[in-house]
Amino acid sequence: MPSLPTLSGLPGLAVLRAMGRDRSLLAGLAAMRQHLGNAFQITLPGFKPIVFVGPETNRHILVTGRDDFLWRTESDPVTKLLRHGLLVEDGESHDCLRGVMEPTLQRAQVNGHIDAFWECTTTVTDGWTDGDTVDMLVEMRKAALLILMETLFAVDFRPDLERLWRPILASIEYISPGAWLVWPGAPRASRKAELAELDDYLYTIIRERRASCAETGQTGDDLLSVLVAHPAMDDDLIRDQLLTMLIAGHDTSTALLAWALFMLGVHPDALAQATAEARAVLGPAPPTPEQLKELSFLDTVIKETLRLYPPIHVGNRRAGHDTEVEGYPVPQDNRVMYSIYLSHRDPEHWEQPDDFCPARFDRSEKGGTPPAFAYVPFGGGPRNCIGATFAQVEAKAVLGKILYDFDLELLPGRVHEHMGATLEPRPGVKMRVWRSRKS
């Protein structure tokens, strides 16, 4: 078996230089791939993940060798926070939870949420006045949170948005990569009070839903109601699923929406085309699923944004036993990462990989469909993103609504890729907004 390349000597310096220049760990990873190839090992004290890039190894980790890898690592903050949430469970427990939740996220259910996607966006944009400068990273988080609570939990989150803003951000910071990666016992800022406030809220909505279901004898078809009605789910297990969906389901969408607006902002031609399309296809009332399908240019913008800035830029696993990936040895318990970000920029599979080019996803043009497993913004195989359909319909509805209602202008300023729980445009996406004459 070939041994895994690691960094040393001159390539090591080149990687450090790239990280310093771009102030980004991702730039370091990209430089490592350039020097070491599509499989390599990071060898920091206490942190030695094996990183794989490209369709063959993605397919291996996600599908063919799926059973060799585990998600759960007890010492990781994400496991401590989500406890027994779908995202951090393995084996039968994972598959059972997935079976319970998946029906609430099928396309038919998602299409039933389009009105809510539209109305929640309006709630946010009602606060914008002509000539305002807004930070789309903040505004899109508001929209994504209102949407998630309204659709999956059937809860009106407007009265609680402000109060729970800090606790939600604290939960995201808690699981973001940091010193704990190299030093699991590293002292960390205590977020006890904020996390307890969020828990308190989640347990309250669970209790209230149990009471209202018992009183009316009726069960809704939203996720919270389905969980409450399930005989094997106690309040703790439901809290774990709600927190999982709350974080996985809104922080990712926030990043996608903010990056998409940023990409439109730096490409005025694309902004003009997406705006013209939204105004030709949409009207003042919430759109039908067919209308959203007609937003074919916006669709390519969303796909291209997910290629360049995948909100989940890396998939994390732990080897369940000694194994191998496409000929490379992987010892038991070693952390394994499949890099979505680097796969999406692999010059072997993408022409001019760093360029924003929505046309590469245009089905009417040559190409149109990337090679299988070269494009994995939602992962793949049985553990792919449970909210993939939800996220894509949501993105089209929210962006379509904004483009229909507003003329946008990106303000100058450096934006960098921040590796938090998701890949975010930091320090934010500042845009000037004017209500369009059509809305």
Catalytic residues: 252, 378, 385
Strand partners, 434: 407
In the complex with ligand HEM, the residue whose CB is nearer, 14 or 181, is 181
In the complex with ligand HEM, the residue whose CB is nearer, 278 or 337, is 337
Least distance in Å: CB of 299 to ligand HEM? 14
Of the candidates 425, 72, 87, which has an alpha carbon nearest to the alpha carbon of residue 246?
87
Of the candidates 198, 186, 179, which has an alpha carbon nearest to the alpha carbon of residue 82?
198
Report yes or no: 243 and 249 within 8 Å, Cβ to Cβ: no
| Under rule CB under 6 A, residue 65 binds ligand HEM | no
| Under rule CB under 6 A, residue 429 binds ligand HEM | no
| Under rule CB under 6 A, residue 28 binds ligand HEM | no
Least distance in Å: CB of 310 to ligand HEM? 6
In the complex with ligand HEM, the residue whose CB is nearer, 15 or 337, is 337
Least distance in Å: CB of 392 to ligand HEM? 8
Instruction: Give the ranges where 231-353 is alpha helix by DSSP (H).
Output: 235-266, 268-281, 289-294, 296-308, 340-343
Least distance in Å: CB of 104 to ligand HEM? 9
Q: Please report where in the chains the tokens 């590469």 appear, as a residue.
A: 360
Phi/psi at 407 (5° precision): -90, 140
- List binders of ligand HEM among 294-313 (CB under 6 A): 310-312
One residue of 383, 396, 418, 430 binding ligand HEM per CB under 6 A: 383
Select the span of 45-53, 195-203, 345-353, 383-391 touching ligand HEM (CB under 6 A).
383-391
Residue type, 335: R
| Under rule CB under 6 A, residue 274 binds ligand HEM | no
| Under rule CB under 6 A, residue 158 binds ligand HEM | no
One residue of 29, 149, 308, 386 binding ligand HEM per CB under 6 A: 386
Contacts with ligand HEM by CB under 6 A: the residue count is: 24
In the complex with ligand HEM, the residue whose CB is nearer, 245 or 419, is 245
Phi/psi at 281 (5° precision): -95, -40
Q: Say which residues have a Cβ less than 8 Å from residue 396's Cβ, sequence separation at least 6.
A: 292, 295, 298, 299, 302
Of the candidates 58, 140, 132, which has an alpha carbon nearest to the alpha carbon of residue 341?
58
Least distance in Å: CB of 379 to ligand HEM? 3
| Under rule CB under 6 A, residue 78 binds ligand HEM | no
Whether the upstream peptide bond of residue 412 has omega within 30° of 0, thus cis, is: no
DSSP string, 174-231: HHS-SGGGT-TT------HHHHHHHHHHHHHHHHHHHHHHHHH----SSHHHHHHH-T
| Under rule CB under 6 A, residue 315 binds ligand HEM | yes
**Angle in degrees, CA 201, 203, 207, rounded to 5:** 115
- Measured CA to CA in angstroms, residue 386 lies from 104, 121, 151, 308 at distances of 10, 23, 15, 21
Phi/psi at 83 (5° precision): 55, -90
Which 8-state DSSP code applies to residue 412?
P
Which residue of the chain is nearest ligand HEM when measured via CB? 387
Least distance in Å: CB of 96 to ligand HEM? 11
Nearest-angstrom CA–CA distance, 42 and 29: 9
Long-range contacts of 88-92 (CB under 8 A, 24+ apart): 88/244
In the complex with ligand HEM, the residue whose CB is nearer, 228 or 314, is 314
The two structure tokens encoding residue 54: 């490209």
Least distance in Å: CB of 229 to ligand HEM? 19
Binding pattern for the stretch 220-259 against ligand HEM, x by CB under 6 A and - elsewhere? ------------------------xx--xx--xx--x---
| Under rule CB under 6 A, residue 378 binds ligand HEM | yes
One residue of 26, 30, 36, 86 binding ligand HEM per CB under 6 A: 86
In the complex with ligand HEM, the residue whose CB is nearer, 262 or 390, is 390
In the complex with ligand HEM, the residue whose CB is nearer, 31 or 60, is 60
Select the span of 21-29, 181-189, 319-327, 381-389 touching ligand HEM (CB under 6 A).
381-389
One residue of 66, 98, 426, 435 binding ligand HEM per CB under 6 A: 98
Relative to beta strand 335-339, strand 50-52 is parallel
User: Which residues sit at the interface with ligand HEM, rule CB under 6 A?
Assistant: 86-87, 98, 244-245, 248-249, 252-253, 256, 310-312, 315-316, 377-379, 383, 385-387, 390-391
